[in-house]
Chain A
């Protein structure tokens, strides 16, 4: 996914170095040795494995997103009711990518509209796919020692400042529309725990997302969604008929989500963009998005 959406980006190259080079591995293993202990503590105190009916809708949503973006399934952990100070979705894992966790706050996520939820989950999955879980783990584990944590922030700065963009792109593709994605982007940058890596600033990330919103990749995903909407399966047809007969029965969350997305498809939606199933001619190639972003970040 990262190769497709952020081709030739430094993100993938840098994290491949972090996760595979011998020098970086030596440093990371010092943290990873502690991660094994921390992970066991977390499972005792703050996290729980997905069990029962509560986890089911989230797992199904994660399966849907992984199929859409062709990602691998992570290990999922739910925050227990007593856990405090966690973001809505947190990727964690070892540097070998052999045990990647997606920690989700099911209670708060359930209160969001479906596209907003999809953005956050896909953002987390995107981080894992790009190998960022080790970055989050390193910050999480080192947070118990202030000096080590400050040093790690400094050492990891070249990695953490470029880590957000690919994940944000994955989020936008899963959310489908820009407005909910932008809302959640702002939310995901707020009230972060002290241990959290210092990712790129919100204006930088928002601008990169706006540019990506104009790309052919997003246009292709949108047109395939439109096609699916205009050519629904039998199940969907019957459901629509039912709702037409009883309009009051439409769930509130769906109504809100539809209204949200209808209001705010704006930034990239030229009239001809929404007309057919074809990708509009004026959609940007992905290379243009990448070029603008890398120039702005000054990473070449």
Chain B
């Protein structure tokens, strides 16, 4: 659907259709829960016009206090020790209410003490917490999500917060003004942007709340904000909206006119403004969110495709590894990130070493060959031979990189997909069409023409001259030709000796950059997969591998006590058609799903609403 300009209602209808289709694909892949999430988020955005604002940050940055300050009343528990242990959804309603929402949507009323206990994570529960408030500061189109700290020592809590990322529409990242932008916060911000699909053309909004600004001397505040803008330029190229809040002060004295309190009021006004843009923002957010779902499903299909090609025993081993690794829902992001970074560095280093070694070997071999080869083989065959040698080496190097990248992926998520293989195959395809690495200029025309002229002159004199001249030419012409040819070869060799080292340096530098681009793209894809699937990663991987195992015929158990195997003729008539291999059929269906997902991505990227008339 190229560049479809649709009316808002048509766009909403199209997005609903695409969401249903994606949910259906997720179900076909054995991931019904993912499908339900896709549908639920689409309904929330398009039917209920609810903009989800996630309030995120490290522990004890004052997230709950900031929400209380925005709402103008202390509805959420806040205190000295980490207080939020569960996700709390805060929405506008006619009456104040605290609820536990069961997975089937059933609401049950909670007493304030019980609600506070559950919100602090002191007691396990099934479902989610909902707080309704008639506060005029929370517009009806916005729902605030209070989250546990992203660096909570209880890993499960931090996972909950990060798991909310792909479903958010706007993020308020709460930072401590006294120790602003730690490395972990920048890394989290990067993950958040991946989960949202960036902030360009996705409708996503990122706000930074620089909390506890009252603890920073007034004179230092502008330089602090400058520092933030500078640090975030690499991560977030556009302008970042910063609010220098004093949540505690604003919460204790709602009518305060201090700088920090005014900034809280400004943040509140920004949320009101966001609520006014839901009609335009939410369809865009839906489209971006569906695109991210397509990306996630494509990662899943690549995992499934490889699993379907595994032998039964190997598949069962991987399935057991995934079950064991994710049995406790423990997704240690720091450990995975460290594994990925170390693995990438190791791969890059070994790739560089291999290229340097091969370059030295190739150059020595070319220069040695130059001394032996004649004019024709140097000018005509050598460039092609160098290209062949280079491609041959690259094939081996790419295969080594594939194994290394798959091992890296297995180290991170205990299984792997076809992504590395596909990406490197694409890279190889491009490299195969780049042409010879070394261009050798042909010998000079003068020498060539001289050789030709001597031959013609000699023949003419032989025919038309006298015997003495003929004898002289018989001796002189071949000698002159030999001299000129030898000179021609020498010129070519000199040119080659000058050209080859530079050409090889350029070529190997390009080759290394190309291979590292493929490695980096694969590593970025792995990170993206982990961020998008997140706390569902273990469940999704198990479901995918189990689905693949269901198509894979189990190996017959070895039983030596049985009768010896005898070769017998088949019982069925020769014309009987063998039943189709279920794995082959499943793989073909998977390829079709992948093609449809690619089409959906393309269609979604071209969806744009028609601007409404003024």
Interface residues of A (CB under 8 A from B): 22-23, 25-26, 29-30, 32-33, 36, 39, 49-53, 55-56, 59-60, 62-63, 73-76, 94, 96, 98-99, 101, 234-235, 237-239, 242, 249
Contact = CB atoms under 8 A, between A and B. Distances in A.
Contacts of B592: 235, 238-239, 242
Contacts of B37: none
Given A29-B448, A234-B584, A234-B588, A51 B430 contact: yes
A99 B588 contact: no
B379 interface: yes
A242 B379 CA distance: 54
A98 B596 contact: no
Nearest to A239: B592
A94 B441 CA distance: 10
A239 B591 CA distance: 9
A98 B377 CA distance: 11
Contact of A50 (B379, B430, B439, B445): B430
Interface in B428-454: 429-430, 432-436, 439, 441-445, 448-449, 451-452
Contacts of B439: 36, 39, 99
B596 A50 contact: no
Contacts of B584: 234
Contacts of B588: 234-235, 237-238
B595 interface: yes
B381 interface: yes
B442 A50 contact: no
B217 interface: no
7 contacts: A22-B452, A23-B452, A33-B444, A59-B433, A76-B433, A96-B380, A98-B379
A26 B448 CA distance: 6
Contacts of B433: 49-50, 55, 59, 62, 73-76
A98 B436 contact: yes
B489 to A, nearest CB: 14
Contacts of A23: 452
A33 B441 CA distance: 6
B429 A234 contact: no
Contacts of B445: 26, 29-30, 33
Nearest to A29: B442
Contacts of A55: 430, 433
Contact of A96 (B379, B432, B449, B452): B379
Interface residues of B, number: 33
Interface of B: 379-381, 383-384, 426, 429-430, 432-436, 439, 441-445, 448-449, 451-452, 580, 584-585, 588-589, 591-592, 595-596, 599
**Chain A contact residues: over half helix, strand or loop, or mixed?**
helix
B478 to A, nearest CB: 15
Given A23-B452, A94-B442, 18 more contacts: A22-B452, A26-B448, A26-B449, A29-B445, A30-B445, A32-B442, A33-B441, A33-B444, A36-B439, A49-B435, A50-B430, A55-B433, A98-B380, A98-B384, A234-B588, A235-B591, A238-B591, A238-B592
A29 B379 CA distance: 11
Nearest to B382: A98
Contacts of A52: 430
Contacts of B452: 22-23, 26
Contact of B435 (A51, A101, A242): A101
A96 B384 CA distance: 11
A75 B430 contact: no
A29 B451 CA distance: 14
Contacts of A53: 426
A75 B596 contact: no
A96 B448 CA distance: 15
Given A23-B452, A29-B442, A56-B426, A50 B434 contact: yes
Contact of A75 (B426, B429, B436, B442): B436
Contacts of A22: 448, 451-452
Contacts of B384: 98
Nearest to B591: A235
A99 B435 contact: yes
A242 B429 contact: no
Contacts of A94: 442
A33 B442 contact: yes
Contacts of A242: 592, 596
Contacts of A60: 429
